[in-house]
Amino acid sequence: MKDDIVSYEALVNVFERIHFFLRRLDYCTLDSFTPEVTELLTKVMAQILSILALSTKAIKEKRISWSFHSIRDSLSWLTVVQRSL
Amino acid sequence: MSTRNKTTHRHLSIANFTAIFEAASNEYRTSTGQDLETHPFAAALEDYNTPDFVLNVYRKQARAFDKFRKVDDKLMAWLTPTVYILFTVSETLGDGISPVRTQLFYDISVLQHPFSQPFSAAKALFTAIGVLLGVSLFPHSSIVHSHNSQLRS
């Protein structure tokens, strides 16, 4: 039961972080749509898929703290991408 | 830039998009052991065409979990805008939101034949979100099996 609660909190945290990143990205994409932006957006979507994979694997294996470190690193990368948009 | 150059550039962008996302999907399969194309969640999203359709599938999943544990609204509060933004980004990229197979006809000078994009990136992401919800909310396989049957019905 305790593990389930930790998993649920971790899940909420993952979606909260993804949401905050995407919310900022949304403003960027509305104005500037160039081939370079297309490629960056593609990489962002691929990176989000990677974050979802890490989270799924970590929660399945109950390695939540490891997951958070990996997710934090991935989101740092996303922030760098966002700044270059 | 000439019209022909623009067209070629667009085609190359689509080719890059497909290659990048296919690599990510393969990495996902290796990492999680789940195939995004054949997962029951992909079937549940077969006819999706709006963010609300996707969110309803997630709500159905959360409600099924609610039978076992009380879930608050925090999860859907973060998921709802996320799904909407992913839809917008996906449309911006020209990713096939349409539930039918998207035929992308390439310039004959770029590729020698029409290219079929069988699985949209947005659908892959929405399926991956559903898989993550599944493993988090239904950690016990018997519940997952029962839940997957409900999603398919």
Residue among A16, A22, A35 whose CB faces B86 most closely: A22
In tens, the pLDDT along A59-70 reads 777 655 545 555
Mean pLDDT of B125-152: 68
Burial of B118 (0-12, 13-18, 19+ CB in 10 A): exposed
- Average pLDDT of chain B? 70
Given CB atoms, is A26 within the 8 Å cutoff of chain B?
A: yes
- Give the chain B residue whose CA is nearest to the CA of A36: B13
Number of domains in chain A: 1
Tell me if B71 and A8 make a contact (CB, 8 A cut-off): yes
Tens digits of residue pLDDT in A22-42: 877 766 655 666 777 777 788
Which of B 86-105 lie inside 8 A of A, CB atoms? 86, 88-90, 92-93
In this predicted complex, what is the ipTM?
0.74
Taking CA–CA distances from B73, the nearest residue in chain A reads A12
Per the structure, the complete domain to which residue A23 belongs is given by: 2-84
Facing A7 at nearest CB: one of B20, B90, B136: B136
